[in-house]
Amino acid sequence: MMFEYFLVFLGAAIPWLEIALVIPLGIIRGLSPIWVMILAFVGNMLTVLILIIAFQKVKEWMESRKKKDGKEESKRTERGKRIWNKYGMPGLALLGPVLIGTHIAAFIGLLFGASKVNTTIWMTISIALWTLVFGIATAMGFDFFVENL
């Protein structure tokens, strides 16, 4: 059972899996919704904080990779720019987890000039909010279906 909780933590920490997928899967699997939500929040937040702290190194690595590959911007990056231009850091942080991912949202915010402190605050609010939304909705929906079967 502990291994499954570790997988929730690990899954939430991995970009592209994140809380939107990990929380519902953990709760549907029969794990405690409270522990799933706590571990998913901590796992996702930990890697976002590492990204924020290491932003400059990650930015340099991405730029060198982009030059080497000769690739244009991804659709996620373009979507992030549109969100940034329309809503700023609060909008990017709040919409990021469902549209482009928390890690990309944090990176784009920093790339467009948001401070590390501002990015950390808004990403924490966003991840906490979406953790609650995914956790409560899944737990309530799952209970509803189990009770009515």
pLDDT score for 118: 93
pLDDT digits (tens, 9 = 90+) for 133-143: 999 999 888 66
CB burial class (10 A; 0-12, 13-18, 19+) of residue 83?
buried
Q: What pTM, to 2 d.p., does this model score?
A: 0.80
Q: For the segment 10-52, what is each residue's pLDDT rounded down to a tens digit?
A: 999 998 788 989 999 999 999 999 999 999 999 999 999 998 9
Q: What is the pLDDT of residues 74-96, one digit of tens each?
A: 777 777 778 878 888 999 899 88
Q: Which amino acid is at 12?
A: A
